[in-house]
Structures are given as C-alpha cells and as structure tokens.
Amino acid sequence: MAVQKSFAVAAILFVCLQPATTKLPVFGRVDEGWVKEALDVVLAEASASHCSLIFIMDKTSSYFYEALMIRVPATKTGGDVVLDVGDDGSVGVNLTMTQVVAQARKMRLMSWCTSVVVFSDNPTFLSVFAEMADNGRLMVWETKLLVITRLPLSNLQNLLQNYWTFSMMNTMFLKLNTSSGKKHCQIYGHMPYGPTGSHVAQLGSLKSGHVLAYLSNRTLFPEKYNNFHGMKINLTWIPLTPYWMMMKQPGPNGTEVTTFSGREYWIMENIAPILNFSLNPLPYTGWDPVSQDILIYNCNETLEDS
C-alpha cells in the first residue's frame, strides 16, 4: 500500500453551472466575519487540525469567498490551492463539477484525513454536487462533509433525504439564519436508522456569541451505523460455496422453507445482533447484476484508494 502524505490544504473551487430553471431564494447580505467565526467553531469541534480542508462553492456565493479570505491565511499550515473561476470563465481555471470532484478526490487520497466544506444557497448546485460526489467516489466514511447554506429547512430536508452523499455518508448541514436581525445557526444531519425510522435530525445550534449547543445528547457528525434499531437489512449475495449457500427444505402444510449458510452469511448473522438488525437476503437474479453493482465498484474503490 502506498504511503500517503499528510498536509493541510485549503482549496477554493468555483463552479459555473447553467442557470437554474427554478427561481432561487432571495437572501440579503451576510456579515462575512460572522460566517467565518461560525465556520471556525464547527471545524474546531469536528475536524482535527492536521486534516486537509477542501472548500467548494458556487459562483454566486461571494460572501462565502470573503469569509474564507478572512479565514484561510490564519489557518495555513501547509500547501494552499486556490482555483478561481470568473463569471464568464475567462479568469483562472474553468472547472466543471466533474473536474472539481476529481480534483477533490485526488487531494483526499493524498491526505491522512479530509474535511470537505461546501458553500451554496442553490439547491440545484447542491444536488449536482451530491450526484457527482457519489459517481466520482469522493466520499468515504472517514471524510467529513459540511454543507453551509441559507436555504429553507424544506430544501435541506429534501436534499438530506434524497441524495446518498447527504443521507448515508458522514454529512452535516449548517443552516445560517439572519432573519429579524438575529444571527444564529442550526446544524442538521440525516439519520437513516432510528426508533421511528429514517429522519432528519437537528444535531445542535450556534447561538449568540457562537456558543455551540447540542440537542438530545447528540454530537457533531454522529455515527449512523452503530445501531440499526431492529431494521431489516437487504443483502445481495452470490451462491458461491463456501461463502453463500441456499437450501430449500419442506416446511409446515406443504410449504417450502429457504435457509442460508456459508462463511459470509454466518459472519453477517453474528454481526446482526450486535448492531441490532435482521437479515433479508434478496432473491438471486444472476451474477451480472450483483457483480456490476457491488463487487466491481468496491474493487475499483479499494484498488484506487490503496
């Protein structure tokens, strides 16, 4: 396995997207210093000082850019990468979202640990980022993703529930609120498993003076998979002895009972009570669908990340 270098990186990536077909929310001006202080509080709590930082923003978030210009020089401990794109693409390096994700992934592979911070008030930008981050394998569980936005809670819930990068990975949303002259923030995350099922949970808040307050004994970037709360987890499998074997036996009243055995099945069967879930092996539909969707993807990720 190749030895990876560890250094702090602050990258500002501007992306030019096609104009959104839906009308974007209109927001007033934000105090850049206040945004910088809120970001500092959350990152100080959630990200180790030696981890690389990757900042990604859309071209309409000028106040985020100003906040980072205040912040970055004070935290520079190694190499800084700044990629600017003008509105017409004539200044700096013109990056598409695919290129941004590819560059960010390279930086993640070069670092011991990485935190990605995405700034945008545009739901289209965030949805495109989520899709490209998933397709481009930007995120692994050790990578923390913080999305900073002023979008309404309804937009946040839609993004957190409907995109794998936001719902299942190590992701939080920091919602900035400046209404009525008050400056405060709420922190949200999607919990895919819980006593009442999947839900968007408020993890904490930042009140006046940037005091971080947690809610309901929660933490920033909470662990999502240490308790599945009795959920039935679907398993895709391949009948390959001695790992997975399926047997059909006569059951009561002339029915047929399907049982499973094999090394991999027994491993999952032993893990299930520890993490509080039950197994639901899906019907086997052939080698190709399973290998295409799971095995090949995982092998590519393992080889490229080693």
Contact 33, 104 (CB under 8 A): no
Answer yes or no: are the C-beta atoms of 110 and 4 closer than 8 Å: yes
Neighbours of 259 (CB within 10 A): 11
- The answer on pLDDT for 275 being more than 90 is yes
pLDDT at 301: 41
Banded model confidence at residue 128, pLDDT cuts 50, 70, 90? confident
pLDDT of 159: 96
- Tell me what the pLDDT averaged over the chain comes to: 76
Burial class (CB in 10 A: 0-12, 13-18, 19+), 285: exposed
Residue 219, pLDDT above cutoff 90: no
- The b/e string for 134-144 (b: 16+ C-beta within 10 A; e otherwise) is bebbbbeeebb
| CB 256, CB 208: distance < 8 Å | no
- What is the DSSP pairing of strand 171-177 with strand 184-191? antiparallel
Which of 21-25, 212-216, 223-227, 295-299 is least confident?
Answer: 295-299
Which amino acid is residue 214, in one-letter code?
Y
Structure tokens at 85: 């794109």
Q: Percent helix, strand and coil across the chain, each rounded to 5?
A: 35, 25, 40
d(CA 225, CA 303): 24
What pLDDT does residue 151 have?
A: 92
Residue 126 pLDDT more than 60?
yes
Strands 184-191 and 199-207: antiparallel
Q: How confident is the model at residue 263 (pLDDT cuts 50, 70, 90)?
A: very high
- In order of their start, the domains of the chain are 10-214 (3.40.50.2300), 231-305 (no CATH)
* 51-65, 118-132, 153-167, 195-209: least confident range: 51-65
Q: How far is CA 140 from CA 12, 115, 133, 275, in A?
A: 21, 11, 10, 20
Residue 94 pLDDT > 70: no
- CA distance linking residue 169 with residue 171, whole number of Å: 6
* Cis-peptide, bond into residue 152, ω within 30° of zero: no
